[in-house]
Structure 1
Amino acid sequence: MGAARRGREPGQVWRGGRYLLTGLPTAMATMVALPLLAVGVLSTAVGGLGLVAFPRMMLGLRWWAEWHRGRAAALLGVQVSARRAGLPKGVRAQWRQAVRDPASRQDLRWALRQVATGIPAGLIALAGFGAAVGTVIVAPLWWLFTEGEPLQLLGAVPVTGWGSALGLGAVQAAAAGAVTWWVAPRLARGHARGCLAALEPSAEVQLAERVGELTESRAGVMDAHGAELRRIERDLHDGAQARLVAIAMRLGVARETLPDDAGALAKLLQEAHEGAEEAMTELRDVIRTMYPPILTDRGLEGAVTAVAAGAGLPAEVELGELGRLPAAVEAAAYFIVAESLTNAAKHSGAARVRVRLTRHDGRLLIEITDDGTGGADESRGTGIIGIRRRAAALDGTVRVSSPAGGPTAVTVELPCAS
């Protein structure tokens, strides 16, 4: 084990020295970058230039910090997951991220630390390697110095001949090399550990990233679930339902061709025919509750318009620019509108109802308002509990306002960012 360690030492010294010597100019560059960031903030007063420039400067600082983080991890032989680096859409969102994101403040603290520690550490490494290598180069050239100002080694010992040049040069080079051999790897590892610690995501950031990952994961699952429901609905509609229709038709034809005195056979055919028709009705109901076929045929806008037209009371529909929505969100929105319209028709005593769907900042807003008597009570099975469950399955929110005397307003927000 000792032999193996001795075999690794030269490599460790070289890697540590390279890490420190590379960190010296990058720390100087970071020192220059800090005033530029301040200029970026101040430039907001110049036609709002900083609103665009500063977020991108902070993004550049994030990439710069991540590059240093990767170097530190490689030196220590550890694995680190890359932090997110990107800008959201919109100038306001970009500025808000640059100013309020905890990771941005972390990058700024790292930059100050990099300047404060990277430059001294790099200078120490430069001095150590420079003393060792420079002595080897300069000692044989002692004769180029004048007698009044001879070459001095070991701090203040003049070189007067080849003997003192080689002897003192060997001692100084060995001393500088020994110090560098011992200091460089340890100093580099200490700096690298400090870099990783400074850029380690906080518990708050890790939790936020985990929530984001889970949100994306669940959105993918919901999309896959919606696609699977559409496939099952299509298979049932085109397969099982079509076969039931064909069987019912054949049974009907068979009943018509039987003589009047068929007796028990006619009764059996009648029961089989009626059973097939009842099975078709139940299958249609199942298909509609799984994924309404009208969503596939007309989309959410057409489906909401159609369900409002058959609501049993005058319904006004207002649709904003909805764009492409995940299948699960479309299905939930359709059922929420349908249930709300049913509630209004059965319980509210309303003369009119208004349905409004809009999309803003990655959320679908559904508003159903009627002019009825109000006083909606969820405990009496008015369907609001079902609406809440559908919204909760997608991390949505439901607000119900139904004072006595009316009106009743149901507002649902569903996340729909894809």
Structure 2
Amino acid sequence: MRKTWARPLRSAGYLLGGLPVAVATVVALPLLVLPSRARAWADWQRRRAGLLLGGPVLTRPAPPPGGPRAWWRRMRTDPDARRDLLWLPTQVATGLPFGLAALLCLGNILTGVWAMTLWWALPAQAVPKLLGDVPVTGWAVALTAAPLQIAVLTALAWWGGPPLARAQARICLAVLSPSAAQRLTRRVELLTRTRAEALDAHAAELRRIERDLHDGVQARLVAAAVRLGVARESLGGAQRDVAELVREAHEEIEEAMTELRTVVRTAYPPILADRGLGGALAALAAGCGVPAWAHIGDLGEIPAAVEAVAYFVVAEALTNTAKHGRATRAEVRVQRTGTGLSVQVTDDGIGDADETLGTGISGIRRRVLALDGSVLVTSPPGGPTTIAVEVPCGS
């Protein structure tokens, strides 16, 4: 029985609640046009509509404080702010007629109940009247017209109230909800932020693996290699076979350590943790096969994933310069550009770099595009060659 009456009662409460809200909107309109109050008022209506329709309604951040100039700027640039203001007249246009319809229906049901049961106790000048201006002056009218009015209006409220309330709630959410393009934009922003967080977590895990390999596995391999070296030197000619086996084991361990160092540097360069991005790039330039200069700006705080990509870009570009470019000098420029990081490597070599020949440019492009960055390679025949990379640093 409760479930049977729950939906009509919720609908009646929503419609009747919208009437004073609409009146308050008209009365307090000068105050509600302020961005923060319009947002709070609109969000309250969105929550009411969401509760009626049974769907979740995402909360929105409160607008930043500011004066008239900031308010006008938000009206021009923030679609949510414009929707909040648009909802004010829409609330009045829907809340008043829908709420009055629910109030008249409920009021006439109560009037019918009152006329049917208490008409006889009222003085003659206070005779109750039903719809159609029908006076209740005797039991015949009280027991026929009044119950008919109650039944008709109850059926109308039962069947017509929920659709009317849902229509008003849907209008509210339609006006206050972002468009499909804006929802897509926000979804992309969310995915970009979560991907950046995942990349940061991945970089932190790589740093942990690097520390474990460096402090654990690699240290043990070094100790084993030292012991094998000592054993190899101490074995005499009579034990030549054993010495040969020790020599082979010693060499294999040294090769394994070399491969392990390569894996560690590929996973996450330890120098980034030791010196930071600026120091690591300066070390790359100092160790380049041709004279190279590093110009590092004020980088600020950079996500670990972006640091690793920037280091890889410079390392690959300088390797190409030394091995294939026939250059006599190279320059590395790294700086912050708003919410991004700009990396540019230029050399005075022969140019004509071809990405399809395995020069490392394709690897640079893959890593940069994984962070929604951009890569521009300028390498005309005769040079110079410039690799310019932009990587977003924001979440």
Q: TM-score range by the shorter chain?
A: 0.7 to 0.9
Distance 1:394 1:163, change over 3 A: same
Could you give the per-residue CA deviations for residues 77-104 of structure 1, whole angstroms, max 9, x where no partner exists?
x223415435699999998775345555
Q: What aligned pairs does 1:111-122 form with structure 2 within 5 A after superposition?
A: 111-122=88-99
Identify which of 70, 85, 98 aligns with 2:61: 85
**Structure 1 residue 245: deviation in Å?**
0.8
- The percentage of counterpart residues that share the same residue type is 53
1:363 maps to: 340
User: Alpha-carbon deviation of 1:335?
Assistant: 0.9
2: distance between equivalents of 1:361 and 1:34?
A: 39
For 1:377-406, what per-residue CA distance to the aligned partner results, in whole angstroms no more than 9, with x for missing partners?
Answer: 323333211211111222211012223443
SS at match of 2:371: coil
Q: Separation in 2 of the partners of 1:189 and 1:361?
A: 46
**Counterpart-to-counterpart distance in 2, 1:386 and 1:303:** 20
Partners of 2:148 and 2:39 in 1: CA distance: 43
Q: Deviations over 1:217-256 (max 9, x none)?
A: 3223212221221122111111121111111111111122
Compared with structure 1, are the counterparts of its residues 32 and 301 closer, same or farther at alpha carbon in structure 2 (3 Å cutoff)? farther
- Partner of residue 268 from structure 1, selected from 241, 245, 252: 245
Counterpart-to-counterpart distance in 2, 1:323 and 1:182: 64
Q: How does 1:242-391 map to 2 (within 5 A)?
A: 242-391=219-368
Distance 1:165 1:188 in 2: 33
Aligned residue pairs total 389
CA contact (8 A) 2:46 2:57 kept: no
- The verdict on how the C-alpha distance between 1:245 and 1:70 changes in structure 2, with shifts beyond 3 A counting, is same
Matches within 5 A, 1:161-310: 170=146, 174=150, 177-178=153-154, 179-199=156-176, 201-310=178-287
Which residue of 23, 28, 42 maps to 1:28? 23
Deviation per CA, 1:260-279, whole angstroms, max 9, x where unpaired?
Answer: 45432322222222222222
Report if aligned partners of 2:47, 2:57 keep a CA contact under 8 Å in 1. no
Aligned position for 1:45: none
In 2, Cα distance between the equivalents of 1:249 and 1:266? 15
How far apart are the structure 2 equivalents of 1:317 and 1:139? 98
Could you tell which deviates more after superposition, 278-287 or 341-350?
A: 341-350
Q: Is residue 68 of structure 1 aligned with residue 45 of structure 2?
A: yes
Query: RMSD value over aligned CA atoms?
Result: 3.6
Does the 8 Å contact 1:396/1:413 carry over to 2? yes
In the alignment, the residues of structure 1 paired with residue 66 and residue 193 of structure 2 have an alpha-carbon distance, to the nearest angstrom, of 21
Normalized against structure 1, the TM-score is what? Answer: 0.79
Distance 2:258 2:70 in 1: 51
* TM-score normalized with structure 2 length: 0.83
Amino acid at match of 2:267: M
Task: Tell me whether 1:99 sits opposite 2:79 in the alignment.
Answer: no
Instruction: Give SS of 1:366's match.
Output: strand
Structure 1: tracts of 5 or more residues without a match = 41-56
Structure 2 SS opposite 1:348: coil
Where do 5+ consecutive residues of structure 2 fail to align? Answer: none
Decide which moves more: 356-365 or 326-335. Answer: 356-365
CA contact (8 A) 1:396 1:412 kept: yes
2:378 alignment partner, one of 371, 380, 401: 401
Alpha carbons 1:343, 1:383 under 8 Å: kept: yes
Give SS of 1:221's match: helix
